[in-house]
Amino acid sequence: MRANPAFSTEQAIQELGTGEALISFLDEKGSPWWSSGAMVIAPCSRMGPVSDDERNGLLNHSPLYGKYEEEVDRESAFEMLQQGVQVATGAAVGSAGEGPAERR
């Protein structure tokens, strides 16, 4: 964080109140710009679950509705690897009973 000549950064940090923060952005070259004070907006949330009507309303008006509302149980990478291990283990067990001449 780059010090701002308009105020003492150390003093500002000590005097921060509830909902206040010191922030700094990067300039067009990627260097930190002067720090400045800002107010932080409290999150809009509540304790407890949403009702079924609220949940359905949020889901139906989501920009992703139409793409993810249908459940699909695809084969995971773990399942594919497990299947490969089982095939390899089965091939190794099947070839273990053969003699050297039979494998050629």
Q: CB under 8 Å, gap of 24 or more: what pairs does 5-13 form?
A: 5/34, 6/34, 9/35, 12/37
pLDDT digits (tens, 9 = 90+) for 26-55: 988 999 888 899 999 888 777 889 999 999
pLDDT attached to residue 44 = 78
- Decide: 59 and 79 in contact? Cβ < 8 Å: no
Q: Average pLDDT, stretch 83-87?
A: 91
- Decide: 9 and 22 in contact? Cβ < 8 Å: yes
* Gap between the Cα atoms of 4 and 15, Å rounded: 16
This model's pTM is above 0.75: no
Element (H, E) at 79: helix 77-96
